[in-house]
Amino acid sequence: MPTYLKGDATKPVGDDNRYVVHVCNDRGGWGAGFVVAVSKCWSEPEEAYRDWFKSKTHPLWGHFELGNIQIVKVAPNLSVVNMIAQSGYGQGNRHLHRTSEPDSRPPIRYDALEQCLEKVAASAKVYGASLHGPRFGAGLGGGRWSAIEPIIEQTLNGLAVTIYDL
């Protein structure tokens, strides 16, 4: 079960190795939601994400596609994890989604989020990282937190997870 705190996820508590995790889309768009706060703090996550999108593949992160992650170091004990778990853009831009599914389906892809979190968990265990983030996938991704929280509990079992609410 995650710990919930009032605060800013771009300022994760602790001095251990920390990952700030968040959901990105599979269209290369970066400019709304939590990524705005990320870019105000660090330039590297946006630059790395855009480079990955342009190249379509990376030797460490694989193909730029749903279910893959990118870990970007921004300080000695702090990394930002870009998780590609959203198909297209936010709720207000359904016409831009790359999908043949009905418009009622939100952009979040729970199966892709699960794949991302499994990869995050594997890395966090190797590097002894705690995980921090907003209610990822439940903002512009349109996901239900009641569906996302069980995925977190299943995939990140045994890891310290802190979710921040402003």
CATH label of the domain that carries residue 13? 3.40.220.10
Q: What is the mean pLDDT of the chain?
A: 92
H or E element in which residue 149 lies: helix 145-155
Is the model's pLDDT at 100 over the cut of 70? no
CB burial string 78-106: b at 16+ within 10 A, e below: bbbbbbbbbbbbbeeebeebeeeeeeeeb
pLDDT band of residue 105 (cuts 50, 70, 90) is confident
How many domains does the chain contain in total?
A: 1
Please say if the pLDDT value at position 99 is more than 60.
Answer: no
Task: List the domain range (segments joined by +) for residue 12.
Answer: 3-165
Cα–Cα distance, 91 to 72 (Å, whole number): 27
Give the residue-averaged pLDDT of 91-102.
Answer: 50
DSSP one-letter code for 144? -
Task: Say if residue 159's pLDDT is above 50.
Answer: yes
More confident of the two residues 67 and 101: 67
